[in-house]
Amino acid sequence: MVVCDHCEQRLKARDSEVGGGLLGKLSSESPQMSWTQWWGYYAASVSLDSDVYGVYELGDVNKEIVYVGSGKVKNRLLCHLEKKEFPLARYYRYSIIGGEESSKLRESEILQEYRESMDRFPLYNGKNGETRKYRC
């Protein structure tokens, strides 16, 4: 199989995260959450990820968070891309969480932490931190 340099680097990084213990280190019982590095937010990049439950953040050109969401990461991100819901988003990162309920809970916690530190919610989460209108 022929893979471009960028995709090959992306696959190696993803494999090292998963193979290096990211899946094992992160679960609903984990007291600390680790994020992947920021990746370019486009279909080819997202398609390389596994479809696992987690929390994800979308960042603008400066990697400032514009949206926080949760669910099966790959599926959600591809759906958002297809619907062109977040025009300012250029990057994404995610953290693997145990399951759907754990992911929703952590998403809510992250949004509250963001609001406390920034005195507002991320741009696309709206003034009340809602994410439901974007659910794919």
In three-state form (DSSP H/G/I as H, E/B as E, the rest C), the secondary structure along 7-64 is HHHHHHHHHHHHHCCHHHHCCCCCCCCCCCCCEECCHHHHCCCCCCEEEEEEECCCCC
Residue 30 pLDDT class (50, 70, 90 cuts)? very low
Q: What share of the chain is helix, strand, coil (3-state, %, to 5)?
A: 45, 15, 40
pLDDT at 12 (0 to 100): 57
Residue 44 has pLDDT above 60, yes or no: yes
Q: What CATH superfamily is the domain 5-134?
A: GIY-YIG endonuclease (3.40.1440.10)
Rounded average pLDDT over 94-116: 94
Residue scoring higher pLDDT (136 or 45): 45
pLDDT at 127 (0 to 100): 81
pLDDT at 54 (0 to 100): 95
pLDDT at 29 (0 to 100): 38
Determine the Cα–Cα distance for residues 36 and 64; give it in Å rounded to an integer: 15
43: CB partners within 8 A, 6+ apart: 78, 81
Residue 98 pLDDT class (50, 70, 90 cuts)? confident
pLDDT at 132 (0 to 100): 61
3-state secondary structure of 81: helix
